[in-house]
Amino acid sequence: MHTTIQTLLDRKGHDVHSIRADQTVFEAIFQMDALHVGGLIVKDGARVVGIITERDYLRKVILRGRSSKETLVETIMTRDLESVTPEDSVDVAMRLMTEKRCRHLPVFKDGELDGIVSIGDLVKEIIVVRDPGIQRLHFQSVSPKYQSTVI
């Protein structure tokens, strides 16, 4: 799909929910729950230093017997960020999420954070494009041009 991340962000908005690296995991959980999101960008001052997701929490806090009120975000956040640019296609974002098994991708424009896309955002975008696509392919398969080629 050739829709760009820019188009998606124009529709969805450029807001990014973030938390400081020195806040507690409990604060992150509380914020994610209140905002109905599954991940927060982690910042140290204005700098983006990672991402914390509900999956990080489950795997790195609960499983290892840590306390969410005593563990800092920076301890469990994912530092190696997969990201996209506004010029990338939705297709590229889909491939990254599938390959890296992640559900959030920050968007960087000239090195600056410009937005975030979730797997849910991608699915919404796919739906917009998918139905007309099906109709078009169906039309092509029975178009007289193709039939005459067969004959």
Partner 1 sequence: MLLNDVLNEKGKEVHTIPSNASIDDVVTELVRFNIGSLLVRDSPGGPILGIITERDILRALAAHQAPLEELRVSTCMSCDLITAQAQDDITVAMRLMTTHRVRHLPVVEGEALYGIVSIGDIVKAHHDELELENHLMLNYIQGGGSSVVAS
Judged by the rule CB under 8 A, the positions of this chain that interact with partner 1 are 1, 29-30, 32-34, 36, 38, 54-55, 57-59, 62-63, 68, 91, 94-95, 97-98, 101, 103, 119-120, 122-124, 126-127, 130-131, 134, 146, 149-150
C-alpha distance across the termini of the chain, in Å:
32
Name residue 128's amino acid.
Answer: V
Question: Considering beta carbons, is residue 97 or 113 the nearer one to partner 1?
Answer: 97
Q: How far is the CB of 78 from partner 1 (least distance, A)?
A: 15
DSSP string, 62-129: ITTT--TTTSBHHHHSB-S---B-TTSBHHHHHHHHHHHT-SEEEEEETTEEEEEEEHHHHHHHHHHH
Cα distance between residue 135 and residue 138, in whole Å: 5
Q: How far is the CB of 26 from partner 1 (least distance, A)?
A: 8
Question: Considering beta carbons, is residue 46 or 127 the nearer one to partner 1?
Answer: 127
Q: How far is the CB of 98 from partner 1 (least distance, A)?
A: 5
Question: Considering beta carbons, is residue 46 or 150 the nearer one to partner 1?
Answer: 150
Q: How far is the CB of 103 from partner 1 (least distance, A)?
A: 7
Question: Considering beta carbons, is residue 15 or 30 the nearer one to partner 1?
Answer: 30
